[in-house]
């Protein structure tokens, strides 16, 4: 009987987090919406690009920044080279005549790079963006228009993931589109719980120093504004474009972002209390994501102690699901089964990453950053602490 109760509670929690809560948002999101009061604005803007060994993308990135539809006299671009050892600094210097400033600092990590930029940036708005993503020309105007609303403290752009070359990459893209939809719903109600890391803007007056061991600067910084009463919103008209990633890269990213969520409880304990005006949504979404692997474990363990025939049915269903995920790498590309096995494998990998994220309590947080092509800060793709 006890096993049955554990199974039902865990299964109900799983269904609520993955299905019922998103359904609730889709039904009531528009009814609860608080429109952002947009208006044409042209405040001064400091575009901040932290880079560690990003030579593969920096030229393309700076070209997209310089191509933004915004008055030249009201925008500055700062590239912070965090101890780069490739051609990053030479590329940035090549844009000096076009107004790009290069700031060199010793290797210290992304938070240290951002803190250094905050000290010299002069814009009323800070636009934080990573090295990999190209920006749409009209995106900055769309973002700053949201700051006409005095309640808005942070504005995230929409990150568009280009079509993948494999089912694995498409599955990750599908997952990201769902995440973007969730953030959009929360933004319309009040606030996201952070920002879209590769592309977001914040009022200069709200930028606070970031602890150098923080894994999720794109949550730590916006949440400081959130707890001061400001909204953290998304602007779908401001778009940036990124390259697809595979499951292995997404696993490393997910380990870091989920570890970063655990880490944030120490800095913002109010997230777990009614000081958080979005408490119900936070517990259903962000905290719920941390609970998912534990709910799955509870379902698996309790299944062995269920009465017949429920024990066989529960174990068979789980074996089928996990087995489908396990054989995904051997299923030929283009197969109909691959359309099921790739999302299943992606989900299982994400759950494994959630367990691995607990390592933040036992290792140095910065050890969870992993270098990928495009430099370490290129790996921060879509990171917003999902």
Question: Which pLDDT value is given to residue 373?
Answer: 44
Residue 146 is given by DSSP the state G
Residue 230 lies in a domain: yes
Is there a contact between 276 and 334 (Cβ–Cβ < 8 Å)?
no
Query: What domain range includes position 104?
Result: 1-377
- As a whole number of angstroms, the distance between CA 150 and CA 225 comes to 12
Is there a contact between 9 and 276 (Cβ–Cβ < 8 Å)?
no
Q: Is the pLDDT of residue 375 over 50?
A: no
Question: Which pLDDT value is given to residue 362?
Answer: 57
Q: Which neighbouring-strand residues pair with 127?
A: 47, 201
Q: Is the pLDDT of residue 230 over 80?
A: yes
Q: Is 206 helix (H, G, I), strand (E, B) or coil?
A: helix
Label the pairing between strands 231-242 and 152-161. parallel
The DSSP H or E segment spanning 161 is strand 152-161
pLDDT band at 382 (very low <50, low <70, confident <90, very high): very low
pTM above 0.75, yes or no: yes
Residue 296 lies in a domain: yes
Number of domains in the chain: 1
- Cα torsion 328, 329, 333, 335: sign: negative
Residue 95 lies in a domain: yes
Residue 349 lies in a domain: yes
Residue 384 lies in a domain: no
User: What mean pLDDT comes out for the span 230-256?
Assistant: 83
Q: Dump pLDDT digits (tens) for 29-84.
A: 888 889 999 999 999 999 999 999 999 999 999 999 999 999 999 999 999 999 99
Is there a contact between 134 and 60 (Cβ–Cβ < 8 Å)?
yes
Q: Dump pLDDT digits (tens) for 111-168.
A: 999 999 999 999 999 999 999 999 999 999 999 999 999 999 999 999 888 765 555 5
Residue 205 lies in a domain: yes
Mean residue pLDDT of the chain comes to 87
Please tell me the least confidently modeled range out of 55-69, 201-215, 242-256: 242-256
Give Cα separations from 21 to 106, 180, 344 (angstroms). Answer: 45, 15, 20
Q: Dump pLDDT digits (tens) for 287-315.
A: 998 999 999 999 999 999 999 999 999 99
Residue 48 lies in a domain: yes
Phi then psi dihedrals of residue 56, to 5 deg? -65, -25
Question: Which pLDDT value is given to residue 242?
Answer: 86
The CATH number for 73's domain is 3.90.550.10
Adjacency order of strands within the sheet including 75-82: 100-105, 75-82, 45-51, 125-129, 199-203, 152-161, 231-242, 134-135
Residue 383 lies in a domain: no
Question: Which pLDDT value is given to residue 379?
Answer: 43
């Amino acid at each position: 009987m006890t096993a049955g109760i554990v199974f039902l509670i865990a299964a109900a929690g799983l269904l609520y987090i993955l299905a019922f809560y998103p359904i609730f948002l889709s039904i009531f999101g528009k009814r609860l919406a608080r429109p952002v009061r947009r208006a044409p604005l042209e405040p001064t803007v400091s575009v901040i690009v932290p880079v560690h060994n990003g030579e593969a993308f920096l030229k393309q990135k700076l070209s997209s920044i310089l191509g933004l539809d915004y008055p030249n006299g009201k925008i500055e671009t700062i590239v912070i080279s965090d101890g780069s050892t490739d051609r990053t600094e030479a590329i940035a210097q090549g844009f000096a005549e076009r107004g790009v400033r290069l700031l060199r600092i010793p290797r210290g990590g992304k938070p240290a790079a951002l803190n250094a930029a905050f000290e010299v940036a002069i814009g009323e708005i800070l636009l934080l963006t990573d090295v990999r993503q190209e920006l749409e020309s009209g995106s900055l105007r769309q973002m700053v228009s949201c700051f006409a609303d005095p309640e808005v403290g942070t504005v995230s752009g929409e990150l568009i993931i280009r079509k993948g070359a494999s089912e694995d990459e498409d599955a990750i893209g599908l997952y990201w589109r769902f995440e973007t939809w969730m953030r959009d719903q929360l933004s319309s109600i009040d606030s996201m719980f952070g920002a879209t890391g590769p592309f977001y803007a914040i009022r200069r007056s709200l930028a606070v120093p970031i602890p150098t061991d923080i894994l999720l600067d794109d949550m730590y910084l916006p949440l400081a504004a959130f707890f001061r009463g400001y909204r953290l919103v998304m602007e779908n008209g401001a778009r940036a474009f990124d390259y697809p990633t595979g499951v292995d890269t997404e696993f490393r990213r997910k380990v870091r972002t989920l570890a970063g969520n655990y880490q944030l409880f120490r800095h913002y304990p109010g997230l777990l209390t009614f000081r958080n005006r979005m408490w119900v949504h936070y517990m259903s979404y962000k905290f719920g994501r941390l609970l998912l692997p534990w709910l799955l474990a509870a379902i698996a363990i309790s299944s062995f102690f269920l009465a017949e025939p429920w024990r066989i049915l529960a174990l068979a269903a789980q074996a089928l699901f996990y087995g489908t995920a396990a054989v995904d790498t051997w299923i030929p590309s283009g197969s109909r089964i691959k359309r099921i096995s790739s999302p299943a494998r992606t989900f299982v990998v994400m759950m494994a990453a959630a367990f691995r994220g607990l390592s933040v309590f036992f290792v140095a947080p910065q050890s969870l950053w992993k270098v990928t092509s495009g430099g370490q800060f290129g790996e921060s793709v879509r990171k917003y602490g999902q």
